[in-house]
Amino acid sequence: MIATEENQLFDTDVTKLFGIRLPVVAGGLQWLSDANYVAAAAHAGIIGFITAASFDSIDRLRDEIRRCRDLVGDAPFGVNVSMLPKLVEGERTDRVFDLIVEEGVRFVETSGRNPEPYLPRLHAGGVKVMHKVPAVRFAKKAQAVGVDAVCVVGAECGGHPGLDLVGTIVQAAVAARDISVPLLVGGGIGNGAQLVAALALGAGGVLIGTRFLVAEEIWAHPDYKRRLLEAGETDTTLLLQSLRNTLRALRNETTDMVQTLENDFPGDLDKLMPHIAGKVGRVAYETGDAAHGALSVGQSVAFADRIEPLAQIIGHLEEEARAALNHLDAIRR
């Protein structure tokens, strides 16, 4: 859906950057952010990102990008590139960025390490870069090296919230003080009132992941989604702190096992890997067995109340945002 004056509730530097109707980004979800999901985001008036790491070859990623372009038409979409914290043998980040430029993708979501080495080639190819970080100090560095936007995620987020574990409401206010490029905040956001709050704190938009996991366009098994509907804000936990790579995941048999192993063998990746490997999580999505796997889920799972099309979830967010604005109008003097 292309933004127009009649259907646009907010006009921020984030809506302008991406050309979207609502200042909401559907961040990349490992294994799950494919062309169908990203196209659904585009048609709902927001932007989504295909997760490059979900595809085992450059050719398959190319095919998915082209399929997404066919599905979205003129609407914006991007590719998520989760760079490893350090260069390792066989990493294909360079090839992924070359593909993005070759295919004319206009937006990239990066994370994991400093994107500075890749910015000249991306900007020369007309690509805008949003860099996602777990702390404001990293956002300031990303701004200094020339990214086009930054997203700061708080401790409530699913996946990797960093080591400092500062909450989103504090991160947002501190980031707004220090960041001048378009700013998004994420972590625990799944309600339209939170969108209004983020804008009030000085952000230009929000990033949402967990709340969208129950969208019909997410290919995961219905039993996995039903487990999320049952979960509340206390049904996630933190893992991998002994590895200095904190992960927030859905509480299950695997998280119990991993926490025991971390207590007994802190920092021993060999003992942890059979339980935390990404392929274990993928099996959970395929089978619906949410008891196993380190499944990235944030505290905003509390807002997941039904399985429905992504456009309807976005519609609820917009209704909630309007209600929050009306509430403010009613109490303002």
Q: Where are the domains of the chain?
A: 13-218, 236-296
Q: How far is CA 99 from CA 71, 133, 169, 190, 332, in A?
A: 19, 24, 36, 32, 51
Calculate ∠ Cα 121-127-130, nearest 5°. 105
Q: Where are the alpha helices (DSSP H) in 146-267?
A: 168-178, 192-201, 222-230, 253-264
Return the pLDDT at 7: 73
Return the pLDDT at 8: 86
Return the pLDDT at 88: 55
Return the pLDDT at 90: 59
Which DSSP state fits 244?
T
Distance (Å, whole) CA 145 – CA 200: 27
Q: Over pLDDT 90: what percentage of the chain?
A: 92
Q: What is the DSSP string of 22-85?
A: SSEEE---TTT--HHHHHHHHHTTSEEEEEGGGSSSHHHHHHHHHHHHHHHTTS--EEEEE--S
Q: At what angle do helices 310-331 and 35-43 cross, to 10 degrees?
A: 40
Q: Does domain 13-218 have CATH number 3.20.20.70?
A: yes
Interacting residues of 285 by C-beta distance below 8 A, sequence separation 6+ = 31, 32, 219, 220, 221, 224
pLDDT under 50 in the chain at which residues?
1-4
